[in-house]
């Protein structure tokens, strides 16, 4: 049923800590609200993540908000995540404001009160613009709502909820233990006016028989004086893009017999790991993340992924033996693909004359491709339509292929070496370098979401691992996963009470 004319308050999912499932639950409600006839849009005032995405206008936002927009059935926009922090090191981050970099800042300087109101005004303005176009806004907090030492400079949690007059729902992770203490403590550490904004609790990642937790729900409601809207069971068979790389460490790092084994190099500053989600769903493939040299030697295909700090990660893989393992595997017939920062590392040299990444001005690359990269201050962020143009490239019928660029740097053939691009964009310009069908690089994130390119990458191994199969439509697969997630959450939450909360005006 369509309920567009009913005014609804924004809803904000906050957490007892990081990785409790706020992002996934917000994604689920973006899809639920869309299914129920509303026009929801996601919003996170401030995000810290290496996983980012390019909007249709060519700006940068956190990947989680792009996923939530996709679940809501709308194009992503910078107003959904006006402030993005991309860690450069343990102490510094690149600050992205309204989709564009405004430079690097040390954490101490960023979290000082001086200049904070400028950022606060910017995120409030973004929220206002978004809420004038969509209803309701599905907001997401950051980390824990109870970091009282950061309250005065908070932009993403309760101060944002107050400004938006949002209905706040606190999410706790029962799987990690201590859910009673974390929920109660989170609420008790809030100021009284903040506590009044908390209208519900969702307990996430429950394992076992839900009937055994009925008494626990009542105890939480009595302690916190807030209703428990639902207890959401742990799930394993729904595939949704993750916000950060925490889950990577839980994935297998070992080769499997009977599969095409693909090793993604586990870099310290790995970014945009969602590039590999489609490959993970391919039944011909076993994909794993590793920096173990023995695992790398067993791989059929090695992928050097994107990196937020190319020179730092290049230095590290030389120190830990990963670089030598990649070169040895290549000599033994393995395929090597570099994406973005990984493409830069595969070249002859990476230069940083303006010290964008640090003090080092130049490092030799792995020498797998005859290209040289210069790190630039200007960041390229744009969505791309393209076609593959390397020799023997598949020419799929229908629309062009799709990807997006987010990088700082220009990569060109070394002097005297002819160009050998991998792809041509719809504007006639080109991307990447193709050495042969087992060695290539590209700046295109999302290139592996395209069946034509996956089939090309796997082609040398298909005879020994079985015939090619009809690969899924990855877009249709993601839509199905959003629906599965929505169903999973909907049946675990008191939806009648949820809608009552959003329609109240106290």
What is the rounded CA–CA span in Å between residue 447 and residue 384?
A: 10
What is the rounded CA–CA span in Å between residue 340 and residue 332?
A: 24
What is the rounded CA–CA span in Å between residue 301 and residue 263?
A: 6
Other beta carbons within 10 Å of 222: 8
Sheet containing 198-206: order of strands: 41-43, 137-140, 11-15, 167-173, 198-206, 228-233
Given its phi and psi angles, is residue 390 left (phi above 0), alpha (psi -120 to 50 degrees) or beta?
beta
| Contact call for residues 43 and 30 (beta carbons, < 8 A) | no
The catalytic residue among 340, 354, 469, 505 is 340
Whether 445 is catalytic:
yes
Any alpha helices (H) in 132-178, and if so which ranges?
158-164
The catalytic residue among 269, 286, 407, 445 is 445
Q: Are strands 92-97 and 100-106 parallel, antiparallel or unpaired?
A: antiparallel
Given its phi and psi angles, is residue 161 left (phi above 0), alpha (psi -120 to 50 degrees) or beta?
alpha
> What does the buried/exposed string (b/e) look like for 318-327 if buried means 16 or more CB atoms within 10 Å of the residue's CB?
eeeebbebbe
Which of these, 189, 185, 181, 241, lies nearest to 216 by C-alpha position? 181
| Contact call for residues 346 and 373 (beta carbons, < 8 A) | no
Q: Are strands 371-388 and 423-425 parallel, antiparallel or unpaired?
A: antiparallel
Any alpha helices (H) in 157-308, and if so which ranges?
158-164, 179-188, 192-195, 214-224, 277-281, 293-297
Strands (E), 75-226: 83-87, 92-97, 100-106, 137-140, 167-173, 198-206
**If you compute the radius of gyration of the chain from its CA atoms, what whole number of angstroms results?**
23
Instruction: Estimate to the nearest angstrom the gap between the alpha carbon of 229 and the chain centroid.
Output: 27
What is the rounded CA–CA span in Å between residue 140 and residue 26?
A: 7
Whether 76 is catalytic:
no
Q: CA end-to-end span of the chain, whole Å?
A: 26
Active site residues: 340, 445
């Amino acid at each position: 049923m369509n309920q567009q004319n009913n005014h609804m308050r924004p809803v904000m999912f906050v957490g007892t800590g990081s990785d409790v499932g706020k992002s996934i639950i917000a994604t689920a409600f973006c899809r639920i609200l869309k299914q129920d006839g509303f026009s929801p849009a996601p919003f996170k005032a401030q995000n810290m993540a290496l996983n980012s995405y390019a909007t249709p206008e060519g700006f940068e936002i956190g990947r989680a908000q792009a996923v939530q927009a996709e679940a809501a059935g709308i194009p992503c926009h910078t107003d959904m995540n006006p402030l993005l922090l991309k860690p450069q090191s343990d102490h510094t981050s690149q600050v992205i404001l309204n989709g564009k970099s405004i430079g690097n800042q040390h954490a101490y300087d960023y979290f000082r009160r001086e200049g904070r109101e400028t950022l606060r005004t910017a995120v409030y303005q973004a929220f206002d613009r978004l809420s004038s176009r969509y209803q309701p806004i599905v907001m997401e907090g950051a980390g824990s709502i109870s970091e009282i030492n950061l309250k005065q400079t908070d932009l993403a949690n309760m101060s944002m909820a107050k400004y938006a007059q949002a209905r706040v729902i606190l999410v706790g992770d029962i799987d990690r233990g201590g859910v009673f203490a974390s929920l109660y403590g989170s609420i008790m550490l809030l100021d009284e006016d903040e506590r009044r904004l908390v209208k519900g609790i969702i307990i996430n990642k429950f394992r076992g028989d839900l009937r055994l937790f009925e008494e626990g729900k009542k105890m939480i409601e009595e302690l916190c004086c807030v209703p428990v809207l639902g207890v959401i069971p742990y799930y394993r068979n729904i595939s949704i893009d993750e916000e950060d790389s925490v889950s990577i460490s839980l994935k297998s790092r070992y080769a499997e017999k009977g599969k095409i084994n693909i090793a993604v190099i586990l870099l310290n500053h790995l970014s945009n790991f969602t590039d590999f989600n489609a490959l993970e769903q391919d039944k011909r493939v076993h994909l794993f993340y590793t920096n173990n040299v023995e695992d790398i030697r067993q791989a059929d295909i090695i992928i050097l992924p994107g990196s937020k700090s190319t020179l730092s990660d290049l230095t590290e893989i030389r120190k830990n033996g990963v670089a030598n393992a990649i070169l040895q595997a290549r000599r033994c017939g393995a395929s090597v693909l570099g994406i973005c920062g990984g493409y830069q590392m595969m070249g002859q040299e990476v230069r940083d004359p303006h010290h964008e990444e640090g003090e080092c001005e130049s490092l030799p690359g792995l020498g797998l491709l005859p290209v040289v990269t210069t790190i630039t201050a200007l960041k390229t962020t744009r969505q791309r339509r393209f076609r593959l143009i390397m020799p023997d490239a598949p020419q799929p019928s229908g629309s062009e292929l799709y990807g997006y660029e987010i990088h700082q740097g220009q990569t060109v053939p070394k002097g005297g070496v002819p160009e050998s691009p991998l792809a041509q964009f719809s504007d006639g310009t080109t991307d990447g370098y193709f050495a042969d069908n087992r060695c290539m690089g590209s700046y295109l994130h999302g290139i592996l979401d395209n069946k034509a390119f996956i089939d090309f990458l796997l082609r040398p191994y298909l005879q020994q691992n079985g015939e090619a199969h009809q690969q899924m439509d990855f877009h249709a697969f993601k839509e199905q996963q959003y629906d599965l997630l929505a169903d999973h959450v909907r049946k675990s939450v008191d939806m009648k009470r949820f809608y009552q909360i959003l329609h109240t005006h106290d």
